[in-house]
Structure 1
């Protein structure tokens, strides 16, 4: 354990309360890492247990300053308790992302009673958790991107549409019809676009893979003068390496053994299936686009419908933005407010246009 830093011999009650809070927070964070370790194996498990051990050393520092564990301790912070609750039930990249944010907000930089080693530990912990979370983020990146952007596109575009139509002063039934039409048109467009994109990418990959078109003529090639080496040179091998590879393949072919074809299975897995991507995009867009239409589906109209749509869409935009912030290691509140500003900004433009259009009709 690192030696405690210099501190007045008679700590104030405020000092002791602060140290006690640090103690319980360090203990709770150690428990979080232990819970996460139970859901991991191998290297990840060992890393998480090492983090828990380090938090235990920090806890011991505060116990020593307090002259022993106090009879009554405060509750851990709300953030730490939430982290512990999630770690015991999920153990996912979301928990690691929250832990990363918690490590980044260490109070020890401004705490005179914390040692320099403790301050350095907290910064290292942030990088360690960031590395552990990176694997999960990479796994989520494709699906998560499609989900967030699809739902957000549906939210913003259909919200802007129904507000613009509603501001023109038309009947609620027409606003509802426009919202449903916007939902279907947008979702079908997203699905079709994703299908074409994924199918085209898979076809492009297939066209670049080695084929067996010339396998039937391999036994008839001349060992000394053949063009098979050119094939391997075209694929990126050096001249000598290509020639040796060609000789081996031809000799195997003369003995009746055809070359195995390496397929780009991993690349195809990353791209995914066209129909699956299209259906996912359709559903993601539709799940966002239905939210602005709900007030009119419930039979509301006029200002009450607009206000309810603002509340529902605002909550949804904040949630999607906060989720992006959480998983990216940024501030959930800041990302949520950014998403809210973008969505409401786009809707405000169409609402003003709808007002102008309604006035011109009048």
Structure 2
């Protein structure tokens, strides 16, 4: 690739090209690391992205003629993504890479080719699709984990602050916090198990079986009757008729088992994947609620009392709420800071209400 006809490049142009070069090299390394951790189709897609970044890198090398004696460092985001790509699951890296691909500098860069600008837009859609796959795989257990941790943090902070505001002893506050941890964790685990098990049973009751296909050989009527089964599963009329003819033909030849599979919609299978496992959800909820609920109790466990314990609990829970909110924001593709502040406001709002009630109905008022 060559640069478009233009004036003699300036030193500022060359510095900009060098910066583009290291960024493309860093992004290519991210996709290469992710590809090395995958297999099958996803590996091929990620490898293709890495190859495309190398082509872009070569473009800037061609313009420079030879690399500068000293190249600039890649940006913090690119270096962070490269570090994460070799150590964490791809979902975190992909959602960050998605937002990075959305802001291409080539839209206003006269030395970038039209093909490169188009590549960057395509890369955004490809990375978005891969990130969406990861979110779907993660959604069942992740939902239970986030809800469990957040509920543990907020409910037990509200409990210990409300109890503490009544003027009872520190030992009583500690006992209340530990009791709230155990009761809440058991309740969350049991509730999540029942919820997910019920949802899976509901999906199973609507899932199709092979009875209609296996009975096709005995039909003495037109295939339109069998096509109704497929149309009820979401196929359009033409596709349902074609499938019905194939099933009847196979069954009448005595090859009933050669049918491509049970008459089912693709959505049913993916729904089970999204819902997740009941035991996985229950255990995740129990452990995450407990890990969240222990945080507000830590000051009293380590012997702090009164206002000091309250302030330390607020700081610890505040940091945890900001962290969980930011993670949710990253994985959902939203702004992490806004999600973190929202989580903090909700948690502290609930704690403030119970603390106020504790002061109102405290020991001194009884």
Regarding TM over 0.5, the answer is yes
Matched, 1:59 2:57: yes
Matched, 1:292 2:296: yes
Distance 1:174 1:65, change over 3 A: same
Distance change in 2, residues 1:338/1:2 (3 Å): farther
* Partners of 1:320 and 1:7 in 2: CA distance: 51
Which of residues 306, 313, 328 is equivalent to 2:317? Answer: 313
Instruction: Determine the structure 1 residue equivalent to 2:92.
Output: 94
Closer/same/farther in 2, CA of residues 141 and 205 from structure 1, 3 Å limit = closer
* Partner of residue 10, structure 2: 10
Matches of 2:81 and 2:194 in 1, distance apart? 41
User: Deviation of residue 2 (structure 1)?
Assistant: 5.7
Q: For the pair shown, which has the larger CA radius of gyration, 1 or 2? A: 1
- Compute the TM-score of the two structures, normalised by the length of structure 2: 0.77
Aligned to 2:190: 192
Contact 1:103 1:125 in 2 (8 A): yes
- Return the alpha-carbon distance in structure 2 between the equivalents of residues 268 and 113 of structure 1: 49
Q: 1:274 offset after TM fit, Å?
A: 4.2
The alpha-carbon distance between structure 1 residues 314 and 54, as it changes in their structure 2 partners (threshold 3 A), is same
1:132 to 130, 133, 138: 130
**Aligned counterparts of 1:280 and 1:179: Cα–Cα separation in 2:** 20
- 1:108-134 CA-to-partner distances (Å, cap 9, x unmatched) read 445555445433332221111111222
Separation in 1, partners of 2:52, 2:274: 37
Deviations 1:295-321 (A, max 9, x none): 111111112212221221122112212
Matches within 5 A, 1:217-296: 236=232, 266=269, 271=275, 274-296=278-300
* CA positional deviation for 1:29: 0.8
Match of 2:25 among 10, 24, 27: 27
Distance of 2:117 and 2:309 partners within structure 1: 52
Is the Cα–Cα contact under 8 Å of residues 5 and 114 in structure 1 kept in the other structure? Answer: no
- Of 123, 132, 144 in structure 2, the residue corresponding to residue 146 of structure 1 is 144
Q: Partners in 2 of 1:311 and 1:4 — Cα distance?
A: 56
* TM-score normalised by length of structure 1: 0.77
Question: Where does the alignment leave 5 or more consecutive residues of structure 1 unmatched?
Answer: 213-217, 253-259
Whole-angstrom CA distance in 1 between matches of 2:87 and 2:279 = 33
Name the CA shift for 1:18/1:200 in 2 (closer, same or farther; >3 Å): same
2:320 and 2:176 map into 1 onto residues whose CA distance is: 21
Contact 1:4 1:65 in 2 (8 A): no
- Displacement of 1:151 in angstroms is 0.9
Per the alignment, residue 104 of structure 2 pairs with: 106
Aligned to 1:70: 68
**2:326 aligned with 1:325:** no
| C-alpha contact (below 8 Å) 1:326/1:332 kept by paired residues | yes
Task: State the aligned residue count.
Answer: 342
Q: How far apart in 2 are the matches of 1:8 and 1:359?
A: 82
